[in-house]
Each structure stands twice: as C-alpha cells, then as structure tokens.
Amino acid sequence: MSEQVYQPDFLPDKFESGTPNTPGIAGLGAGVAFIRKTGIENVQRHEQELTGALIQGLKDIKGVSIYGPQDIKQRTAVVSINIEERDCGEVSMLLDQKYGILCRSGLHCAPLAHRTLGTLKAGACRISPGLFNTVEDIEKVVRAVYEIINS
C-alpha cells in the first residue's frame, strides 16, 4: 500500500503506516526497565526532595514569584517561576548561557494554564528537577536566580 496517498481504514493497518519506530520502542523498553529496577517510589522521593529544596531556596528571594502549591506532596517536580521585571525568555537565556542551567520559558503549550495563573502575557520559566539532578544542582539554580535578580 506504499503507493497510496491515503491511510487504510482497517485494523491494524490504519495505525501502522510507515516504518515502525524501532529505536523509540527500544528506548521505551529500556526506560521502563530502568524505572522498574530503580523503583518509582525512589524516583518520586528524590524528585520531591529536590523540588522541596528548590522551592525552599527560591521562596525567600525578593522578586521571585513561584506558581503552584508550595507543599511538595501537592505538586509534581515542575516549578514555574518569574523574576520581577525580567522577561522569562531573558531569564532562561541567562540561566543557560551564564550558568549552564537549562529551563523552559514561555507558555509551555498551555495557554489556558497560564491564563489561570495570570501569566498569559509574560509566560514563566519552568524548572524541572529530575532523577539525575542533585541537591548541588538545585543550590546552583538558587544562586543563579539570586545573582540574576541582583545584577
């Protein structure tokens, strides 16, 4: 059916056009095996620890707005912030270029969430601690945000 310009409408062919994503399937399998070996509870505990440290470190810095609940049991390991009178794209660029810290800025493909937060016009910087991050990484983020505010 390769010569056809339309998708078949019968199963399983309608879901199997093109070459199967074999590398993606292998990667998914390896990821699932890793999580099963590590333990999802251990991943969650580590991410909560880092998220708590990040919120704790940022909450007392004058000029930083943290969005979402501060109770780590009420959130995932995603912390969205803004720095007073700074464009989130500029903050993201500074974190990357000056400090080697990667974050995501903008609306995160979620304009309705940003409308709810009141950040639809400005967007936000999204910092996402993960299993391969350390407490030292979080301390580096907090120091960098402090320096950006005071520069």
Helices and strands of the chain, counted as H and E runs: 5, 4
Top pLDDT among 5 and 42 is at: 42
Q: Determine which one of 88, 103, 109, 125 is catalytic.
A: 109
In sequence order, which ranges of 66-110 are alpha helices (DSSP H)?
88-99
Top pLDDT among 33 and 9 is at: 33
Rounded to two decimals, what is the model's pTM?
Answer: 0.85
Establish if 6 belongs to a structural domain.
Answer: no
Q: Does the annotation count 109 as an active-site position?
A: yes
Q: What percent of the chain has pLDDT over 90?
A: 85
- In this predicted structure, what is the pLDDT of residue 1? 55
Establish if 118 belongs to a structural domain.
Answer: yes
Average pLDDT in the 90-116 region?
Answer: 96
Structure tokens given for 23:
């590398």
CATH number, residue 54: 3.90.1150.10
In angstroms, the CA 135 to CA 129 distance is 10
- In this predicted structure, what is the pLDDT of residue 2? 63
Q: Is the pLDDT of residue 117 over 60?
A: yes
Domain, as residue range, for 78: 38-149
Could you tell me if 93 and 77 are in contact, meaning their C-beta atoms sit under 8 angstroms apart? no
Number of domains in the chain: 1
- In this predicted structure, what is the pLDDT of residue 16? 81
